[in-house]
Amino acid sequence: MRKFTLLLLSSVFISMTVFAGGYQVRLQGNKQNGFGLVGTPLSAGASSMFYNPGALSFMKNKFEIELGASAILSNVAFQKNGSNYQAQTDNPLGTPFYFYVAGKIGKMFALGLAVYTPYGSTTKWDSNWAGKYLIQDISLSAIFIQPTISFNFNDKFGIGAGFIYTIGSVELNKAINYSGDAGVNLNGSANSFGYNIGIFFKPAERWNIGLDYRSKVNMSVEGGDATFVLPSSLQGTLPTNNKFSAELPLPANLDLGVAVQATDKLLIAIEFDWVFWSTYDTLSFKFEQAGELLDSDNPRKYRDTFIPRIGIQYAFSEKFEIRGGAYYDTSPASDNYFTPETVTLNTFAYTLGFSWNPSKHFSLDFSFLQTFGLKSDKTYKPDNFGGTYQTSALVPGLGLSYKF
Amino acid sequence: MKTKYFLYVVTVLFLVSSCKPEINDFTPESGSADLTSYVAVGNSLTAGYADASLYASGQKSGFASILAQQFAYAGGNGTFKIPMMPTEDGVSPRVTPTGLYFTTKLVIGYSTDCLGNTSLAPVPADPNPDQAKLAQELTTSVAAEGPFNNIGVPGVKVGHLLAPGLGTLNPYYGRFAENPQTDALIGEAAKVNPTFFTLWIGNNDVLGYATSGGLEAITPMEGPAGVGFAASYTAVVQQLTSMASSGAIANIPAITSAAFFTTVPYNPIVLSEQAMVDALNAAYAPYNGAMAQLKLPYRIKWKLGANPMVIADADMGIPVPQLNIRQIEKGELVLLTIPQDSIKCAFWGTQKPIPNQYILTSKEIKKIENATDVFNKFIKDKAVEYDLALVDFNSLMVTIATKGLVFDGIPFSSAFITGNLFSLDGIHLTPQGNAVVANYFIDAINAKYNANVPKVNISDYAPVVLP
Q: What is the mean pLDDT of residues B324-331?
A: 95
Contact call for A82 and B25, based on CB within 8 A: no
| B13–A179 C-beta distance less than 8 A | no
Question: What is the value of ipTM here, to two decimals?
Answer: 0.91
> Tell me, what's the pLDDT at B13?
56
**Residue A221, strand partner residues:** A246
| pLDDT for A3 | 38
CA B107 to chain CA mean position, Å: 17
Say whether both B217 and B352 belong to one domain.
no
| For range B368-379, the mean pLDDT | 97
% chain A with pLDDT above 70: 95
Confidence of residue B340 (pLDDT cuts 50, 70, 90): confident
Among the listed residues A12, A6, A30, the one whose alpha carbon sits nearest the alpha carbon of residue A323: A30
Query: Is residue B323's pLDDT more than 80?
Result: yes
Question: What is the arithmetic mean of pLDDT over B87-110?
Answer: 93
Q: Is A26 domain-assigned?
A: yes
Distance CA B385, CA B376 (A): 14
Chains A–B, number of C-beta pairs less than 8 Å apart: 125
Task: List all residues 6 or more positions away from B51 whose beta carbon is below 8 Å from its beta carbon.
Answer: B58, B90, B105, B106, B107, B122, B423, B424, B425, B428
Distance of CA A310 to the CA centre of its chain: 19
Query: Which pLDDT belongs to residue A17?
Result: 40
Q: State which H helix or E strand residue A76 sits in.
A: strand A73-80
Q: Are residues B219 and B343 in the same domain?
A: no
According to the model, what pLDDT value does residue A402 have?
95
Helix (H, G, I), strand (E, B) or coil at B7: helix
User: What pLDDT digit, counting tens, does each position of B175-210 carry?
Assistant: 999 999 999 999 999 999 999 999 999 999 998 887
Residue A350 belongs to a domain: yes
User: According to the model, what pLDDT value does residue A10 have?
Assistant: 33
B45 and B145 co-located in one domain: yes
Q: Are B197 and B321 members of one domain?
A: no
In tens, the pLDDT along B112-161 reads: 999 999 888 999 999 999 999 999 999 999 999 989 999 999 999 999 99
Shared domain check, B187 and B139: yes
Cα B68 from Cα B248, distance rounded (Å): 13
Q: Please give the pLDDT value at position B11.
A: 60
Task: Note down the domain range covering B371.
Answer: 38-113+123-256+364-460
Give the pLDDT confidence score for residue A13 in this predicted structure. 35
Give the pairing of strands B99-103 and A97-105.
unpaired
Number of domains into which chain B is organized: 2
Nearest CA to A177 among A139, A230, A129, A232? Answer: A230
Question: Is the Cβ pair B108, A133 closer than 8 Å?
Answer: no
Residues B331 and B276 in one domain: yes
Same domain flag for B356 and B374: no
Check CB contact of A132 with chain B, cutoff 8 Å.
yes
B50 touching A (Cβ < 8 Å): no
Question: What is residue B324's predicted lDDT score, i.e. its pLDDT?
Answer: 94
Nearest to A55 by CA among A68, A41, A66, A69: A41
Q: Out of B342, B360, B378, pick the residue that ends a domain.
A: B360
Peptide bond into B194 cis (omega under 30): no
Pick from B310, B339, B360: which residue ends a domain? B360
Residue A229 belongs to a domain: no
Give me the pLDDT at residue B220, please: 95
Domain CATH for A368 = 2.40.160.60
Chain B closest-CA separation from residue A179 CA (Å): 5
End position of a domain, from candidates B341, B360, B379 = B360
- Cα B356 to Cα A284, B325, B328, B351: the distances in Å are 49, 10, 11, 15
pLDDT at B418 over 70: yes
Position A175 in a domain = no
B401 and B314 together in one domain? no
Claim to verify: residue B294 and residue B395 sit in the same structural domain = no
Whether residue B3 has pLDDT greater than 80: no
Give the minimum alpha-carbon distance from B440 to chain A in angstroms, rounded to a whole number. Answer: 12
CB contact under 8 A, B21 and A370: no
Domain presence at residue A232: no
* Domain-embedded: residue B14: no
CA–CA dist A89, A156 (Å, integer): 48
Same structural domain for residues B60 and B163?
A: yes
Residues of chain A with pLDDT under 70: 1-22
Q: Are residues B381 and B404 in the same domain?
A: yes
A136, A160 contact by CB (below 8 A): no
Mean pLDDT of chain B: 93
Instruction: Name the E strands within A176-232.
Output: 183-204, 207-214, 217-229
Collect all residues of chain A within an 8 Å Cβ-Cβ radius of residue B24: 79, 86
Q: What share of chain B is helix, strand, coil (3-state, %, to 5)?
A: 40, 15, 40
Q: Is residue A338 part of a domain?
A: no
Contact A384 B408 (CB under 8 A): yes
Q: Is residue B26 part of a domain?
A: no
Total number of domains constituting chain A? 1
Residues B309 and B401 grouped into a single domain:
no
Residues of B in contact with A319 (CB under 8 A): none
Contacts A388 to B, Cβ<8 Å: 23, 25
What is the residue range of A395's domain? 2-126+138-166+193-218+250-275+306-331+345-403
Residue B13 lies in a domain: no
B466 close to A (CB below 8 A): yes
* Per-residue pLDDT tens over the stretch B218-232: 999 999 999 999 999
